Structure 1
Amino acid sequence: MEVVQVLHMNKGAGETSYSKNSLVQSKIINVAKPMMDEAIDEIMSSNLPLSSIGIADLGCSSGPNTLSVISEVLDVVYTTCCRIDRPSPELRVFLNDLFTNDFNNIFVSLPAFYENLRKEKGTEFGPCFISAIPGSFYSRLFPRNSLHFVHSSSILHWLSQVPLGLSSDSSGTAWNKGKIYVSKSSPPRVLEAYAKQFKNDFSLFLKSRSEEMVAGGRMVLSFMGRKSLDPTTVDSCYQWELLARALMSMVSDGLIEEEKVDSFNAPYYAPCVEELRMEVEEEGSFIMDRLEAFEIDWDGGGADPDDTSGNLASGERVAKTIRAVVVSMLESQFGSDIIDDLFTRYAQLVGDHLSNNKTKYINLVLSLIKQGH
């Protein structure tokens, strides 16, 4: 599976689109806002030359969350400039995601965004230039010393590729049979392959950003992660365990070939706090300012108070959220015909799980400062 080609959120604005099913990601952005606001305030209050500042949102996706992040950034820039009586700078805003991202969905929203910006901030607010930068953030995207603030939310847990070494020999026999991510039954080499791939990817991410950011610039990054050193804890992998069970139930019913499940592994890794600290220290370009962990409901806490259908309804909301994120990869492996049935089964499994457990996602938010040279 070529991740760059198949990983994208579900496009458009329909009922199964990411645009309509990104409440969890919105909650994650909200819990990270205090750290993001503090980082931007520190930049604007610093002695850095700021006639023009570069701002990048990496893994911006599309839908309501994309421009809400940029709107928040601009609000803090404007508020800080007013408070310290500093001229408002020009703002160069770069929205980045993979080439397959639904950038058109963003572009059609920009006229209204610019109009609201003009009405709220007035003509004295520095001009804002928004552009799209497609490509993988596991490589260089921007010129040297061009960025002052970098934001990334709910995307760095996606790996650049499926980890190598998940087949046992040249015949392609799978080490992770019946699973699509790390699990309690995965052999140690599977866990090691995932941890190694994340380490390599995150190191490359930090190195790339270190060349693009000015000294004293800031980054705020949000990951799906875990509190425990053990990558097989329920809060870090159980959503994948249930999706694997839904796929294997379709194998049992003769709807999917078992070999296709065995050969599918998610390009995903939920790191722990210790892994992030170690990699930041080893790469050496950034100072860790803050690192906090937050719990997020699987369904984003988005239950309708008038909805009496209970845990199955929660299961359906979770299934829609996961479907909007992973459907492109699943269709690439299994075809589109099985998707509706798969997520009906998945919703039932999630609903059953939530009726007996209060499993939550662990979201890690990391604030970094670019060191000077």
Structure 2
Amino acid sequence: METVVEVLRMNKGAGETSYAMNSSVQRKLISLTKQAVEKAIKEILCSQRGPIMKMGIADLGCSSGPNTLMVISEIVQTIYATSNTLNRLAPKELMLYLNDLFTNDFNNIFTSLPSFHKKIRQEKENNHSKNNNIRDFGSTCFVSAVPGTFYGRLFPTKSINFFHSSSSLHWLSRVPSGLKDESVRRSNKGKLYISKTTPNSVIEAYSQQFQNDFSCFLESRSLELVDGGRMVLSFMGRESMDPAAPYGCYHWELLAQALMTMVPEGLVEEEKVDSFNAPYYACCYEELKMVIEKEGSFSVDSLETYEIDWDEGIESEKGEGFARLMRAAYESLLEYHFGSRIMDDLFGRYARLLDHHFSKTRAKCFTFNISLVRRQQ
């Protein structure tokens, strides 16, 4: 599986294993960016001497379900509230772009748009009542879907004021090309990702792919942002320079163990496990900083790190709930490689391994929250 563009998607619909029903951790991560988003919006509005007539806003890796419209709804509310505080007209037109890969469940988003527009109209009325000195306070919101990979151009030059992305940039554009070599694959047998036994050649391939991808992401966004435009990004990472840091890869390690228990029973071929490599990378702070500085288009306004409990909002047994969360995000990749018939059995085994793991340690992950400002070109 060289590219993820045609394969990767969060589980569709609103069923038990859907992303819409299993994205509480992602919702928590979004909430942690609220202050950074508010600050970025305020800086954008304050940097303009007069009113902004048109404002482009894009959510990259929007997925589907309740989190998607929650993000852009909060951004719009922040624009209204900040404009009100500054005693200014809000931008007359808000161009709201929702981006994800081609197989994303955009239909789920579209069916929720009427309630979104109703909420925005109410927000307009509330802000108008707070500031009667401003006539026609509210903006007209135009919502569009923009399918495609964010590791490349998505928008016209200098057309966007603000980019937001949450829980997406740990996904790579492709499996690192160096992992296709047979000898490299054998050296990481029985693994889906990086682990304590992973050789340096595999680790270096993953790190290089992340550097290439993130640099391409920054370069593309720098061309699409207006001067002074901003981004707020949050995604999974790791707490140290050790690629096998405990909270950066254990969920992949346990998933590999679950698959390997199926090999002796003839349910999965061992070669299939050996040939799967997750298009995922949890970077460290040093790697992140290095790519930003080397690419050169952005300055860092703020960079925060958080530890989040994976069982945030999970009401069922910890292992079962975590397994559903992982299934909602990873099933499309696993189904493409191993077939659909083993999925229920696989995630049942995974849940039991997770229960055992969580009986001895916390269920947590490490995340980055970074705010970037486009430098003057």
State the TM-score, normalizing by the size of structure 2.
Answer: 0.94
Read off the aligned partner of 1:326 and give its amino acid letter. Answer: Y
CA drift of 1:175 comes to 3.0
Q: 2:299 aligns with which of 287, 294, 297?
A: 287
Assess if the C-alpha contact under 8 Å between 1:138 and 1:205 holds in 2. Answer: yes
Assess if the C-alpha contact under 8 Å between 2:77 and 2:123 holds in 1. Answer: no
Assess if the C-alpha contact under 8 Å between 2:162 and 2:230 holds in 1. Answer: yes
Percent identical pairs in the alignment equals 58
Distance in 1 (alpha carbons) for counterparts of 2:235 and 2:202: 21
> What SS class does the counterpart of residue 9 from structure 1 fall into?
coil
Assess if the C-alpha contact under 8 Å between 2:24 and 2:314 holds in 1. Answer: no
> What SS class does the counterpart of residue 121 from structure 1 fall into?
helix
Match of 1:87 in 2: 89
> What SS class does the counterpart of residue 165 from structure 1 fall into?
helix
Gap regions ≥5 residues in structure 2: 126-135
Read off the aligned partner of 2:97 and give its amino acid letter. Answer: F
Match of 1:166 in 2: 179
Gap regions ≥5 residues in structure 1: 308-312
Match of 1:243 in 2: 255
Distance in 2 (alpha carbons) for counterparts of 1:372 and 1:218: 12
Distance in 2 (alpha carbons) for counterparts of 1:24 and 1:185: 29
Distance in 2 (alpha carbons) for counterparts of 1:140 and 1:174: 36
Q: 1:143 aligns with which of 156, 180, 188?
A: 156
Assess if the C-alpha contact under 8 Å between 1:168 and 1:175 holds in 2. Answer: no
My pick for the range that moved more, 110-119 or 264-273, is: 110-119
2:72 paired with 1:70: yes
> What SS class does the counterpart of residue 117 from structure 1 fall into?
helix
Q: 1:335 aligns with which of 335, 339, 350?
A: 339
CA drift of 1:120 comes to 2.4
> What SS class does the counterpart of residue 57 from structure 2 fall into?
strand
CA drift of 1:303 comes to 4.4
CA drift of 1:112 comes to 1.2
Assess if the C-alpha contact under 8 Å between 2:184 and 2:202 holds in 1. Answer: no
Distance in 2 (alpha carbons) for counterparts of 1:220 and 1:168: 37
Assess if the C-alpha contact under 8 Å between 2:187 and 2:199 holds in 1. Answer: yes
Moved over 4 A (4+): none
Distance 1:102 1:371, change over 3 A: same
Q: Deviations over 1:31-69 (max 9, x none)?
A: 111111111111112126621010000000000000000
1:3-22 matches, cutoff 5 A: 3-22=4-23
2:106 paired with 1:103: yes
Q: 1:132 aligns with which of 145, 153, 167?
A: 145
Q: Deviations over 1:168-209 (max 9, x none)?
A: 44x885332100001001111000000000000000000000
1:1-373 matches, cutoff 5 A: 1=1, 2-47=3-48, 50-89=52-91, 90-122=93-125, 124-169=137-182, 174-300=186-312, 302-304=313-315, 313-373=317-377
Distance in 1 (alpha carbons) for counterparts of 2:88 and 2:123: 18
Distance in 2 (alpha carbons) for counterparts of 1:340 and 1:244: 15
My pick for the range that moved more, 143-152 or 355-364, is: 355-364
> What SS class does the counterpart of residue 359 from structure 2 fall into?
helix
CA drift of 1:299 comes to 1.8
Distance in 2 (alpha carbons) for counterparts of 1:210 and 1:124: 30
Read off the aligned partner of 1:77 and give its amino acid letter. Answer: I
Assess if the C-alpha contact under 8 Å between 2:166 and 2:235 holds in 1. Answer: yes
